[in-house]
Structure 1
């Protein structure tokens, strides 16, 4: 195939892509232009041109809906609102009301185009999750290293994972030590120290050490693969509200078509109407009973609510999610990166001898400067924030899973967990002090020199400044608040108490978060899940409404969620729910008004109090009023 042929195919595909994305909007725009030209031709008395333009507007603006309605009729042997709209428009044209029929089609086509854009949701989430798993793995066989595809890995294979690489499969460490960042899978805020015998998961990030891992599960059975399946299953479930709307549309269409047919047959025999009068009344009925006002009672309000939310930094991915969020009874927050900042910080500096807090931090940071461990980086960052000048450290030695020791100003220091301390250094008072910090969910770092405990440092993932206000705002609205996390119970309880949530669920894997969401839904009603990580994606997809953090969230969370908080302001969760409630209220008002007008006009048609011009005015007037009512949500 030559270059010109390839270029021609690429151009054809590009045009096809543009048409798939924007075809509805383009045909609606063309139809609107044709309606305006036809109206202008009518004002000039150019009747043949006027009718030709209206016919073109009918065909271009209505062929999509007509085709969909015919497909439903032929394939499913059922009627829907799409077909009813076309029948009503053609009926209006058949008795000379071309303009009214064209406007009916234009309004419906415009509603469909806007809904298509608003409800559009990409399916990139599964591919985004797949990106977490490397395509290849470095396998060790017969003392030789070779690259193979991850899909070829089998239980028992040994793989080498170098520093900074993603782990390609679930397995157990056979050799090496490292701090593994598991936030994408378990949601733990601080990388976990891993050594021989510890389990690791595909998609997590290896830290500073090389690891030899024995694969325990094939690619399709890993924790990451289970996350993918959970997201797929949750997204395939159609919401009950959507099913109700579809059923209602078809019932409504059947009722109107049957009533129109009866109106064509019964009156000449029951009331002695002429056939001209019967056809005239039947056409009036089709016009006044067409669902434009009913349809317009929903979408303008939904679109206005979506626009309102966007101005506030709340992105709704579809109208159904704006409706669903108004019914939320429980909001479940992920902890790490959602209620908290997601970055460990030094919260307490406790000198036990003559040193000041600044001096204790300065000595500790001097040794930790040489380490890449996340806790070490938090300590060094705290010293930088205080603009402390750090002395040079020497003879640094890392003790895997314990801490470091080295020389500062020719004096030996030990820094790390309780296991790094020498005997008889920790008194009962020191133990009580450390226990109190741990009960607050903090990681305690001990600093020792020459058989003396110099002090303690506490590290913790800190609560977001707006977290308490966000929780309080939800509780004032009568909404229960839960916190779901992969972190340990002590840390979770401490953060949960600070945030003042109602329930705390700790130590959860992704599938366990899904189970908690399902249980809360069964017990209390619709649940909104707020999260930012890959580990939250299944719960986000399972919840009635998934809410992702826009700035801090992973690609997977953003694609899976139904609502995105663009500025990571979790106080906006309450605003989103309030907007959803207001939108539902406006939609209900519009539906009641639209149906009331239809009932009055239909009754007037049967009682011969409504002629075609009055019916068109009543129908179009009610449509405009409900659109104006929906636009109130723009304020």
Structure 2
């Protein structure tokens, strides 16, 4: 390791290839420009419209030419989209209705009104695209952080290699300011690592010897030597990229309904407009020019632009806000469903709890020193990889005890381990309430510890009963607050776990969960989720393990723990909590409810405006400019109302 440190300065020049790829930066810049072309086109159309209006008093011919340019600039893309829908899907959409209304206005001399319609319609489309872009922005920035190369440290020095060639156990050098290329454990050095792109944490996290780091996170001011723990395709970063590739494929049910309605509604409006033009002069006696004008106003004010724009801007804005806080949605449909949540079901181990057992109590018999017993147990367990053994070792280390070398260590199948420490044989294994030889004091304490939800191991020295060590997977610090917030929102909570009922009930009491089911197999969890769905409706399942995957898939919305979650859980989940913060469950449900309220506001407002303008056109009479402003103004308002969620 000393040789590695001597070459840190030398490698800083040779590792320059690990800096961001200039070609990639240029490509990202081009994509960024293309994303904004809609707003540029809309503004260009507006400038042409105003210029045409300004020169109209000087030259009618130039004014008309400028209006034509404004129509073409703002309407070309919308006309293309409408024609593609007509040709491919044999269906009408709002794009063709707006283009037809604008051309109709121009045909009777209302060039400015038609151009205004095109301009505002293009601007509303650009705003909706803006919402969509914002919802993808954090994810796109994450993808752009994907490392391409790494500085690998080997016996023959250091060399830059593609991340795809990294293997578990490789040692990497990560310089200050570089993106960490692989998941791993810090072997040397210290630094503050910005994990915002992965976990949503706003403050860099200090990393030192033994700490985990993730691919795609940004190293701070210190150099780190990192041992790879996952191949490129198995990193948390790679899992997130896979999730992103699945994202945006699902459309909210409310938006699917609006889309279905749009086709039927558009056809109805076209038929109604044609009938008005043909029948009104014959039946009512209107002049042809008056009828055509009324028909154009009707075509404008009856078009469902505001209805069509009522859903997605709000949902996309909510998804963007969630992404910035470390909650990743695979599609807008799940945000829509989350707003109807009635029950949240939690897995226990690794979800409500940290998934890492700790020693909660060491009870020793009379005549034994507690610290001596703990030191002996830790020495005996020091060679074991079992989580309970690690918890005992960690407890001894935290109390500053010396861990000695154990001899003759062996596992006792189905019970525990034994090892010789300081010439005495120590045995640590599963404590049983059916052990008739156990002293009464130990048996009494064992029953209490088990009732409290502990896993209890018996400690023996040679053939003497020495004491009991109680271990428990403690709940996450945020669990109680998370459950409390859900209860305040009127949402019931349930725990579904494969752990034994006594332990599950103890954790449930501490966390404040309403209902608990223990001793469950994966298929039992699925059955409980289905039963809850039948009884309550929309159910959210939160889990992290392979055994949770079937239940996550069966729930209305499945939420996976992003940092500690398995690949199977991440794959089937609809939502991922990248920072494993349980309090974000309630916060995200609240955001989804707010998004649904905004959607409802938008739909009611849009329908009311359309109905008012239609009635006003035939009862009182509405001028085409007022119809354009009323219709397109309502469209802009519902989009802006949805964009409020970005704040």
Same fold, judged at TM 0.5 (above) = yes
Offset, 1:36: 4.5
SS in 2 for 1:441: coil
**Match of 1:445?**
457
Query: Relative to 1, partners in 2 of residues 1:468 and 1:107: Cα closer, same or farther, differing over 3 Å?
Result: same
Kindly indicate whether the alpha-carbon contact (under 8 Å) linking 1:533 and 1:554 is maintained by their aligned counterparts in 2.
yes
Kindly indicate whether the alpha-carbon contact (under 8 Å) linking 2:46 and 2:119 is maintained by their aligned counterparts in 1.
no
Offset, 1:23: 11
Please give the alpha-carbon distance, in whole angstroms, between the structure 2 residues aligned to 1:24 and 1:603: 41
**Match of 2:42?**
32
Matched, 1:382 2:392: no
Offset, 1:471: 1.2
Kindly indicate whether the alpha-carbon contact (under 8 Å) linking 2:82 and 2:92 is maintained by their aligned counterparts in 1.
no
> For structure 2, which runs of at least 5 residues remain unmatched after alignment?
1-23, 56-61, 140-168, 170-247
**Match of 1:482?**
494
Offset, 1:116: 8.0
Offset, 1:602: 0.9
The residue correspondences of 1:46-125 to structure 2 (distance < 5 A) are 46-47=62-63, 48-73=65-90, 78-81=91-94, 83-94=96-107, 95-96=110-111, 97-108=114-125, 110-111=127-128, 114-115=131-132, 118=135
Kindly indicate whether the alpha-carbon contact (under 8 Å) linking 2:552 and 2:573 is maintained by their aligned counterparts in 1.
yes
Query: Relative to 1, partners in 2 of residues 1:563 and 1:312: Cα closer, same or farther, differing over 3 Å?
Result: same
**Match of 2:615?**
603
Offset, 1:497: 2.5
**Match of 1:42?**
52
**Match of 2:511?**
499
Structure 1 range deviating more: 580-589 or 624-633: 624-633
Please give the alpha-carbon distance, in whole angstroms, between the structure 2 residues aligned to 1:410 and 1:334: 44
Offset, 1:483: 1.1
* Residue-by-residue CA offset, 1:33-59 (whole Å, 9 max, x unaligned): 542453465266353244235314322
* Residue-by-residue CA offset, 1:331-360 (whole Å, 9 max, x unaligned): 111112111101122122111233343322
* Residue-by-residue CA offset, 1:525-559 (whole Å, 9 max, x unaligned): 11111122333333323322222223222344344
Please give the alpha-carbon distance, in whole angstroms, between the structure 1 residues aligned to 2:291 and 2:387: 82
User: Which of 602, 607, 619 is the aligned partner of 2:631?
Assistant: 619
Offset, 1:424: 6.8
Query: Relative to 1, partners in 2 of residues 1:515 and 1:419: Cα closer, same or farther, differing over 3 Å?
Result: closer
Offset, 1:385: 2.1
**Match of 1:532?**
544
Offset, 1:611: 0.7
Offset, 1:272: 1.3
Matched, 1:303 2:321: no
The residue correspondences of 1:213-612 to structure 2 (distance < 5 A) are 240-418=253-431, 425-612=437-624
Structure 1 range deviating more: 28-37 or 255-264: 28-37
Count of residue pairs brought into register by the alignment: 504
* Residue-by-residue CA offset, 1:167-186 (whole Å, 9 max, x unaligned): xxxxxxxxxxxxxxxxxxxx
Please give the alpha-carbon distance, in whole angstroms, between the structure 1 residues aligned to 2:547 and 2:102: 51
Please give the alpha-carbon distance, in whole angstroms, between the structure 2 residues aligned to 1:358 and 1:309: 48
Please give the alpha-carbon distance, in whole angstroms, between the structure 2 residues aligned to 1:28 and 1:256: 27
Please give the alpha-carbon distance, in whole angstroms, between the structure 1 residues aligned to 2:495 and 2:253: 26
Please give the alpha-carbon distance, in whole angstroms, between the structure 2 residues aligned to 1:37 and 1:297: 27
Please give the alpha-carbon distance, in whole angstroms, between the structure 1 residues aligned to 2:251 and 2:307: 22
Query: Relative to 1, partners in 2 of residues 1:570 and 1:469: Cα closer, same or farther, differing over 3 Å?
Result: same
Offset, 1:409: 1.5
Please give the alpha-carbon distance, in whole angstroms, between the structure 2 residues aligned to 1:80 and 1:61: 10
Query: Relative to 1, partners in 2 of residues 1:625 and 1:106: Cα closer, same or farther, differing over 3 Å?
Result: closer
Please give the alpha-carbon distance, in whole angstroms, between the structure 2 residues aligned to 1:69 and 1:570: 47
Offset, 1:237: 9.7
Kindly indicate whether the alpha-carbon contact (under 8 Å) linking 1:530 and 1:549 is maintained by their aligned counterparts in 2.
yes
SS in 1 for 2:642: helix
**Match of 1:157?**
none
Query: Relative to 1, partners in 2 of residues 1:30 and 1:288: Cα closer, same or farther, differing over 3 Å?
Result: same
Please give the alpha-carbon distance, in whole angstroms, between the structure 1 residues aligned to 2:101 and 2:134: 26
Kindly indicate whether the alpha-carbon contact (under 8 Å) linking 1:120 and 1:318 is maintained by their aligned counterparts in 2.
no
Offset, 1:29: 4.5
Offset, 1:405: 1.8
* Residue-by-residue CA offset, 1:151-207 (whole Å, 9 max, x unaligned): xxxxxxxxxxxxx9xxxxxxxxxxxxxxxxxxxxxxxxxxxxxxxxxxxxxxxxxxx
TM-score (ref. length: structure 2):
0.70
| RMSD of Structure 2 on Structure 1 (CA) | 3.5
Offset, 1:413: 1.4
Query: Relative to 1, partners in 2 of residues 1:113 and 1:549: Cα closer, same or farther, differing over 3 Å?
Result: same
SS in 1 for 2:621: coil
Please give the alpha-carbon distance, in whole angstroms, between the structure 2 residues aligned to 1:593 and 1:275: 33
Please give the alpha-carbon distance, in whole angstroms, between the structure 2 residues aligned to 1:92 and 1:550: 54
Please give the alpha-carbon distance, in whole angstroms, between the structure 1 residues aligned to 2:71 and 2:252: 38
Please give the alpha-carbon distance, in whole angstroms, between the structure 2 residues aligned to 1:65 and 1:530: 42
Kindly indicate whether the alpha-carbon contact (under 8 Å) linking 2:526 and 2:551 is maintained by their aligned counterparts in 1.
yes
SS in 2 for 1:463: coil
Please give the alpha-carbon distance, in whole angstroms, between the structure 2 residues aligned to 1:508 and 1:403: 24
TM-score (ref. length: structure 1):
0.71
Kindly indicate whether the alpha-carbon contact (under 8 Å) linking 1:425 and 1:451 is maintained by their aligned counterparts in 2.
no
Kindly indicate whether the alpha-carbon contact (under 8 Å) linking 1:92 and 1:101 is maintained by their aligned counterparts in 2.
no
SS in 2 for 1:548: strand
Offset, 1:119: 8.5
Please give the alpha-carbon distance, in whole angstroms, between the structure 1 residues aligned to 2:349 and 2:602: 41
